[in-house]
Structure 1
Amino acid sequence: MAETLNQLADIISNSVSALVNICAADGAAFPSLDDNFSPEFEGFRKNPLAAEAANLIATAVCSLHNYPFFMQFPGLPYRISTHFMLLQHFESAALRVCLESNVIEVLREAGPSVDIDAMKLGRLLRYLATHHIFREVSPEVFANNRVSSILDSGKSLEALQASPTSKHEGTIGLAALAGHLLDESHKSSAYAFENLTHPDTKFSGEPFHAPPSIINGVLNFLPGFDWKSLADDATVVDVGGGVGSSSLLLAKQFLPLHIVVQDRPAVVEEGVKVWNDIFPGSLESGRIQLQAHDFFTPQTVRDASVFLLKQILHDWSDIYASRILVQLRQAATPHTKILLFETILPYACRTYLDDTDEIPGGVPEAPPPLIANYGATNVMGYNGDMGHMAMLLHHNSQERTLRQMDRLLSACGWKIV
């Protein structure tokens, strides 16, 4: 254990020194926990060496933090270690109260009190401040910090009170995501054991055999493929593309491409408004088509150069994902490519024959003694898999490892390249 602690200490010390030097050389400010969140303080991450140093620091710190969970670290009594492990749901419950009551906005404006018992709310805020969410600046007086302010809607209390249901409209969506995760996902996760052991649901792949559902957002996917390699008249089909948010990015940068966005009729109807507003003339030209289509039925576009599926398969168990992929394979030409933008989960162990070694952009394993997949600092994909973003507990679906994805695609006639 002493050797491991020394290794972790070295990683933290060396990485902190590297991060400080890189930020100084770049003239980049490093964020403070006590300050409110501001995108300008994230600029240091643009330097990949700084981002990697920060990631190593966080991973090593999480490794130290998690020693008490296994009672291997003598610095904490076992009863405290057990509390760390078993009572984290209190943190989620307390944070949901603050989100639903607009406490973050109240603290930002130093405005009127919320309609909750002040003593009870103070206890929740103190609990969260103990976990570095909010600050207790003096007895019974609280303020936002970097963590809590990330969830600020940015709207005035007057606006929120006048129209509570539009709280998240026009925002970056983090507060909306938090509200969802702390509500439906949190409640669903309480029934994980029952769902996984009930005779009607434990081996089921049906989405309606899982506790509730929802969500994800648009990221810049363009660097993931050489779009210039396509012919000018190539057809790209955005399967399950919603209103076409991803295709909008593609259409604006690669003008000659013919793009077909497919989704349910109601979504397509909304998409027409979006395209006419953001990219007027694109629909009238015929270059962009919005098409109502059920991806479980035969694909109507038979000459596609690319089928684009952005975070589609993770919503479905292998049974249903296979049906989607088979329909596309049957409509594909010998030269058609399928582009999947999905979270690939790395293993938590060292494989030594790493599946991602030959993939451009693949992230190497973390150095020993850190967990190979960077542990808690790389947990978002696993949260998605377990239900915080509507996978296992919400849709009976899953995020997949590379091997799982390869098996799924191979069974449907596709090959990873």
Structure 2
Amino acid sequence: MRSVGISNLRCLANIINEAIDEIESVYAAADIPFPALDAPFNPADPAEALLQNPTVEGATLNIIAAAAQLSATVASPAVSALNASQAFHISACLRAASEVNVVEVLREAGPAGLHANQIAAPSKTDPLLLARILRLLAVHNIFREVTPNVFANNRISSVLDKGKPSKVLFESPNERLMGTSGFVALLELTADYDMKGVAMLADTILHPKAGELGFNRAYGTTESWWDWLHRPENVYQMQRFDIAMQGTAASESMDTIHKGAGDVLVDVGGGNGHTSLAIAQKNPGLRVVVQDLEDTIKDSKIHWKANLPTHVESQMVDFQVHDFHTPQPVPNAAVFMLRHILHNWSDERAANILRHLRDAAQPTTKLVVIDRIPVSAGRVLDPGENTIPGSTRPSAPAPLLPNWGVAKPSVYYLDVTMHCMLGGVERTLEHFVEVFAKGGWKLVRVYHPEGSVNSHIVGVPAD
């Protein structure tokens, strides 16, 4: 047993060393230094583009997974468990730093950084408390403590930069996220009401009440998350959510969804239509129908007029008020697209949504569901003969977890969030097959667009 343990340690170390060799060879060939942790993130730096190199991407996954597994192997299990139980502090402190615009203040100060007294002054927050918050984050390599109580941005903290002068952010706090990429909005909402809702997970498991989710317990409401978000007093919360959702589509590849000129794409529950707009930009002959609730459709019209006015002027896009829990009014669609819709709902509600689409479908209609697909942390020894095209995915080398563990954790975080906030679920492929069938569709193909965390799950009308 002893030799097996040491062998695994060496194996993990070898994976890390081999991955470092691969990364260094790519950067050496380009004669570019690897980005430094202490320097702010610069998206225009050629070194950042090299991180998208397939060799570097693969090596990076192996390093993160192996380093985490190596740490978990050698660390005290009690300490590891206790540290995991306190990880919520990171979320809370990260949101606090973002809400008081620390990153922008430090960006303007430069690499020498600022004392906590000066960082806290614009927001009139307690400098001692702010220093403690930033120190906890610096311990986790978010921000850099240059000298005691003097902090500066680093590679990780700087991605929270909203790209505006700090003075503007403090003068117009309700507009601080407008015009941004959406990343900071996503981070803040995740560390805000998502964290509060998930905190009630054990309470709702141990003391369940019919129809009550973690969100309901945390916020003391019987309303759904969507109804609560649409309250008049939650205008800022709704704005932040919309901006965050736009950000999640910024780098999404839509090449697998394009259809021919004259075809109709229905963006079901499309929000402001940012996803179908990206498709229409690449395929001007495609007719688009954006469907959502009344308040959201108003925003969709504004978004399309600002970003693709030619499609609006030529009446190639229609904005339709529609609740996808009711019968689908468009009978001639080439594609029904649901991006980040089904994961919000239970199997029963999801199947009902799909059934309405099936009832309106032509024999040639395609269903495209854009969602994430979690995979097991255990190895699949025999995938079987009847695998769905595109379903087989690469797995990490042993002794790493086959799904790369903490190197790819986001879908597992999101799965618990969906349960606690909406009663939804991130579905495995087998789970999708079942839900498609209940809704009258046959799952026939899966695409995994390069550079995207999402999968495109394709269905056709079932016989």
Aligned residue for 1:190? 199
Distance in 1, matches of 2:155 and 2:10, equals 30
On the 8 A contact 1:210/1:394 being kept in 2, the answer is no
Distance in 1, matches of 2:279 and 2:77, equals 54
Do structure 1's residue 52 and structure 2's residue 85 form an aligned pair? no
Match of 1:318 among 347, 356, 377: 347
Distance 1:205 1:224, change over 3 A: farther
State the SS of the aligned residue for 2:55: helix
Distance in 2, matches of 1:268 and 1:397, equals 24
Please state how far the C-alpha of 1:79 moved relative to its aligned partner: 5.1
On the 8 A contact 1:60/1:370 being kept in 2, the answer is yes
Distance 1:370 1:2, change over 3 A: same
- Which amino acid counterpart does residue 385 of structure 1 have in structure 2? D
Aligned residue for 1:384? 414
On the 8 A contact 2:212/2:222 being kept in 1, the answer is no
- Which amino acid counterpart does residue 46 of structure 1 have in structure 2? Q
- Which amino acid counterpart does residue 409 of structure 1 have in structure 2? F
Please state how far the C-alpha of 1:361 moved relative to its aligned partner: 8.2
Distance 1:276 1:126, change over 3 A: closer
The residue correspondences of 1:2-13 to structure 2 (distance < 5 A) are 2-13=6-17
- Which amino acid counterpart does residue 143 of structure 1 have in structure 2? A
Distance 1:190 1:204, change over 3 A: closer
Please state how far the C-alpha of 1:344 moved relative to its aligned partner: 0.6
On the 8 A contact 2:264/2:335 being kept in 1, the answer is yes
Distance 1:205 1:407, change over 3 A: farther
Aligned residue for 2:439? 412
Do structure 1's residue 348 and structure 2's residue 357 form an aligned pair? no
Aligned residue for 2:331? 302
Q: CA RMSD in A?
A: 2.5
- Which amino acid counterpart does residue 377 of structure 1 have in structure 2? A
Aligned residue for 2:420? 393
Distance in 2, matches of 1:402 and 1:105, equals 42
On the 8 A contact 1:317/1:396 being kept in 2, the answer is yes
Distance in 2, matches of 1:77 and 1:379, equals 22
Distance 1:167 1:248, change over 3 A: same
Could you report, residue by residue, the CA deviation over 1:367-388 in whole angstroms, capped at 9, with x for unpaired residues?
A: 100011110111011111111x
Distance in 1, matches of 2:72 and 2:138, equals 20
State the SS of the aligned residue for 1:289: strand
Match of 2:255 among 223, 226, 230: 223
On the 8 A contact 2:332/2:361 being kept in 1, the answer is yes
On the 8 A contact 1:205/1:396 being kept in 2, the answer is no
> Can you give the 5+ residue segments of structure 1 that lack an aligned partner in the other structure?
68-72
> Can you give the 5+ residue segments of structure 2 that lack an aligned partner in the other structure?
227-240, 445-463
Aligned residue for 1:109? 108
- Which amino acid counterpart does residue 134 of structure 2 have in structure 1? L
Aligned residue for 1:179? 188
On the 8 A contact 1:195/1:211 being kept in 2, the answer is no
The more displaced of 126-135 and 13-22 is: 126-135
Distance in 2, matches of 1:205 and 1:405, equals 24
Could you report, residue by residue, the CA deviation over 1:212-264 in whole angstroms, capped at 9, with x for unpaired residues?
A: 46563214232234x3xx44322111111122111112212112222111111
Distance in 1, matches of 2:61 and 2:213, equals 38
- Which amino acid counterpart does residue 287 of structure 2 have in structure 1? H
Distance in 1, matches of 2:274 and 2:63, equals 35
Distance in 2, matches of 1:107 and 1:358, equals 50
TM-score, length of structure 2 as denominator length: 0.81
On the 8 A contact 2:213/2:422 being kept in 1, the answer is no
Distance in 1, matches of 2:213 and 2:139, equals 41
- Which amino acid counterpart does residue 66 of structure 2 have in structure 1? A
Distance in 2, matches of 1:95 and 1:15, equals 30
Do structure 1's residue 38 and structure 2's residue 42 form an aligned pair? yes
Distance in 2, matches of 1:329 and 1:305, equals 12
Distance 1:224 1:205, change over 3 A: farther
Distance in 1, matches of 2:119 and 2:270, equals 43
Identity of aligned residues (%): 35
Aligned residue for 1:258? 287
Please state how far the C-alpha of 1:77 moved relative to its aligned partner: 4.6
The residue correspondences of 1:265-284 to structure 2 (distance < 5 A) are 265-284=294-313
